[in-house]
Amino acid sequence: MTLEKRAWLIADAIVLVLALLSLRLVYWQMVRGENLLPWQLVSGEARAQGELKMISYDDPLLKELLIENSSLADLREVPQPVIQRLSDLLKTITRGSIYDRNGRLLAADQLDPSGDRVRFYEEPSLAHVIGYVSGLRTGIAGLERTYDEALLGLDRLESRYNRAIHRQVRGNDLILTIDSNLQRAAEEALEGRPGSITVMDAHTGAILAMAGLPRYDPNRVLEDGYISGLLDNCDDSPECSGIMLNRATQALYPPGSTWKTVTLIAALDTGQVTPETVFDFGNPEQSPNGPYYVYRVGGGIVPDPNHSESKLNLEMSYAKSANAAFARIGDEMPAETLIDYAGRLGYGSPENIGLARERFPLELDFSPGQLAYDVKDLYENDLLRAVTAIGQGELLTSPINLGMVVLSVLNDGNLPLPYLVESIRPPSSSDAVSHPHRTVIPGIMKPETANLVRQMMVTVVNEGSGQKAAVKGLTVGGKTGTAQVGGDLPPHAWFAGFAEDGEREVVIVVMVENGGEGSQTAAPIFAKMAEISLQLPIERPPVVPTPEATSLPAKPESTVIPTQTSPQATEPGGEVQTTPTPTPQIEGLPPPDIPFDPDKVDFTELGSTTCPGNQEGPTGSGKFIWPSVYQAISGGKFNEDHPGIDLSAPQGSAVYAADTGLVIFAGWSELGYGNVIVIDHGNGYKTLYAHLSQVSKYCGAKVQAGQLIGLAGNTGNSTGGHLHFEVRVPGGYINPMKVLPTP
């Protein structure tokens, strides 16, 4: 054998050995990667079977609460090397961010002053929806838990490869169906009372808002003593108990007369009753409070004080919530029919909860409704069947479950299950990946039944107990509920219904714990939310690039640009930039250089619609600073077709408020601006920041000069990453260079 051949054989052998070693690496790090993960990062299915879920905390009460909710195992059973291994792994992962449907940042990893990653939540009213992460930064509640693997990026082959070669991993982003402006309005509408408000798109099931009180602050939940401090002197009062509970999906309440909608569906769909059915209530009983009707069944009576008429047809019996009519329907309805239709909508016995959760796979922890302690009792107990039909007895429901009843009515008898995640976006792709778990359950009822029930729900608002839910210019339907809870406690107040403006339709469920009568308490809240919901632009969310964690300050509310006399600031990417100096005080308002075009829409005037509620803000100083440390002008110049300036701010760089004021627009604009923020400075000036990749402030936010409000981007009619900046005065635009300091 020649020397040359020997050299080639040796080279081939070396290549073969290297290939085998590479395959071994690929096998163990990628094919067997799941087996190498720390215990609490296993799949949701394994976790549901009791696999370990860990958290780092010092508050014993928090630990007890989480153990009771099956969120973690006892840390004493966890070997310290496992915790250390997990901690080391998570240091290499930047958890994905969470956005609302309009591109507003809701949750993201940030760097604290010591350089460690922390999770920051921009919208605390979503605490029960988004949840929070543990001290080890894995999801422990809400969507953070449901989509833990996606947010950590552990569901991607690319991530396993990056982990194998010790490269940093970035998780996927979540784009939610939530509208954060509507979410805030929903929490405000509760006025501090315990309860919940849920708003959904009537035809897709997309959840637009889900507010519940009382709640916690997800930014503080792991603080030592925070949870126990909230519960000090609580005395089990509804105003402070159950702070960890999502009342919309997990809490169960007697539904009161809202349940009559289910009874109506079953009776109409089986032909037991028709719209022509008339109920004769006989002679009323007399009482100190006036006459009332009763229905006698099974040795008991069902009182009916809700109307004065001795006869009502089916539609008006439903509209006036006639207990005697629906108790009779329940008494005469075969038990198997009631059980069947209740089961179609998620109601059964406690032992059927597992089956109901499989049939209704929601993204958050969900408590299916209870029809009875044991549904077999409905066959023999006529009184139980009668009181169940009017919404009392042993019935329990969550607000989301009642919302599903309304959804099935509005979709021709088919049920689009409510959902919260619109899309999941991997960091390596600019295109959002549609969420794969849209579910529609067909055949809840016949289409003609659904149409009849919808009409009767409208009659409830127009002529019956729900008149305080009416909104001028909208078609509104629904059902009131006043659910007796026993003892001296006031009843729970309910309203479950829909509102339509001719183009869009929403389902809204309002529940106020111990709030009194549904017609007096819940119905007016419904009307307020219906009006706000159909004013806000509800559209498919834009795709916005996600910044790296290093571009986010630890405390965005206090981020201020220093003056030129301050130390130099370091921007993302390590570049040192000179920061701006404020201009001298401007005396009076300059006239506009370019007047507004009366034929064009000025969307800044839509602030009262886009930002409901808070319209009073601070007054600016009249001094402006540059909205970016990148002060070079690029692109279009200031002219009638382009009434602003373009700054050559690279995509992902920080954008700051040019002066103190109130955010009057924050989100997606269809006018070419892309993601945009508009600030009213309260002194005649307004400033606009367009083409943002990230909107970090919300409508109604009060901002100080120099606060971080977003990140520069390339959205809308943009031809590259930059910041478009406008200064507006009454009547038009002024050239921003007139009020900005000399670079």
Q: Inform me whether the pLDDT recorded for 48 exceeds 80.
A: no
What does the alpha-carbon distance between residue 442 and residue 610 come to, in Å, rounded to a whole number? 36
Question: Given this model, what pLDDT does residue 159 score?
Answer: 56
DSSP helix/strand/coil, 64:
helix
- In terms of Cα–Cα distance, which of 259, 279, 285, 333 is closest to 294? 285
Structure tokens at 110: 């940030």
Question: Given this model, what pLDDT does residue 557 score?
Answer: 33
Which one is predicted more confidently, 601 or 200?
200
Q: 435 burial class (0-12, 13-18, 19+ CB within 10 angstroms)?
A: middle
- Among 106-120, 286-300, 481-495, where is mean pLDDT lowest? 106-120
Give the model confidence (pLDDT) of 559-577 as tens digits.
222 222 222 333 333 333 3
Structure tokens at 294: 């009763």
Which one is predicted more confidently, 42 or 106?
106
Cβ–Cβ under 8 Å, residues 167 and 186: no
Give the model confidence (pLDDT) of 646-682 as tens digits.
998 887 788 999 999 998 888 777 678 888 999 999 9
- Among 9-18, 294-303, 711-720, 734-743, where is mean pLDDT lowest? 9-18
Which one is predicted more confidently, 240 or 555?
240
Return the exposure string of 621-637: e unless at least 16 CB atoms fall within 10 Å of the residue's CB, then b.
bbbbbbbbbbbebeeee
Q: Inform me whether the pLDDT recorded for 622 exceeds 50.
A: yes
Question: Given this model, what pLDDT does residue 182 score?
Answer: 94
CATH classification of 549-738 is 2.30.40.10, yes or no? Answer: no
Residue carrying structure tokens 């921009």: 122
Question: Given this model, what pLDDT does residue 601 score?
Answer: 66
We find that the CATH architecture of domain 256-421+435-535 is: 3-Layer(aba) Sandwich (3.40)
Question: Given this model, what pLDDT does residue 582 score?
Answer: 41
Reported as a pLDDT band with limits 50, 70 and 90, residue 118 is: confident
* CATH fit for domain 34-176, picks 3.30.230.10, 2.30.110.10, 3.40.190.10, 3.90.1310.10: 3.90.1310.10
Residue 644 per-residue DSSP state: S
Reported as a pLDDT band with limits 50, 70 and 90, residue 702 is: confident
Q: Inform me whether the pLDDT recorded for 157 exceeds 70.
A: no
**Helix residue ranges per DSSP H, 121-179:** 127-130, 142-146, 148-152, 157-164
Question: Given this model, what pLDDT does residue 335 score?
Answer: 97
Question: Given this model, what pLDDT does residue 436 score?
Answer: 60
Question: What is the pTM for the complete model shown?
Answer: 0.68
What does the alpha-carbon distance between residue 74 and residue 67 come to, in Å, rounded to a whole number? 8
Question: Given this model, what pLDDT does residue 633 score?
Answer: 85
Phi, psi of 692 (to 5 degrees): -70, 145
Alpha carbon distances (Å) from 639 to 378, 645, 686, 736: 76, 9, 18, 12
Contacts by 287-294 with C-beta closer than 8 Å and gap 24+?
A: 293/322, 293/323, 293/324, 294/324
Structure tokens at 533: 């919901």
Question: Given this model, what pLDDT does residue 725 score?
Answer: 95
Cβ–Cβ under 8 Å, residues 589 and 684: yes
Alpha carbon distances (Å) from 538 to 444, 542, 675, 711: 27, 12, 15, 23
Give the model confidence (pLDDT) of 404-441 as tens digits.
999 999 999 999 999 999 988 887 655 556 666 689 99
Which one is predicted more confidently, 453 or 218?
453
Q: Inform me whether the pLDDT recorded for 585 exceeds 90.
A: no
Give the model confidence (pLDDT) of 251-276 as tens digits.
999 999 999 999 999 999 999 999 99
- Among 138-147, 446-455, 491-500, where is mean pLDDT lowest? 138-147
Residue carrying structure tokens 């919404």: 391
Give the model confidence (pLDDT) of 329-386 as tens digits.
999 999 999 999 999 999 998 888 888 888 898 999 899 999 999 999 999 999 999 9
- From the CB of residue 147, how many other CB atoms can be counted at a distance below 10 Å? 24
Rg (CA), the chain: 30
Instruction: Give the mean model confidence (pLDDT) for residues 150-166.
Output: 65
Which one is predicted more confidently, 349 or 613?
349
Q: Inform me whether the pLDDT recorded for 395 exceeds 80.
A: yes
- In terms of Cα–Cα distance, which of 206, 325, 224 is closest to 273? 325
Q: How far apart are the two ends of the chain, measured CA to CA in Å?
A: 76
Amino acid in the structure at residue 499: A
Question: Given this model, what pLDDT does residue 355 score?
Answer: 82
For the chain, give me the number of helices (H) and strands (E)?
22, 32
What does the alpha-carbon distance between residue 585 and residue 610 come to, in Å, rounded to a whole number? 31
Q: Print the SS3 string covering 360-382.
A: CCCCCCCCCCECCCCCCHHHHCH
Instruction: Give the mean model confidence (pLDDT) for residues 119-143.
Output: 86
- In terms of Cα–Cα distance, which of 54, 122, 63 is closest to 89? 54
Residue carrying structure tokens 């108990």: 241
Question: Given this model, what pLDDT does residue 80 score?
Answer: 58
Reported as a pLDDT band with limits 50, 70 and 90, residue 603 is: low
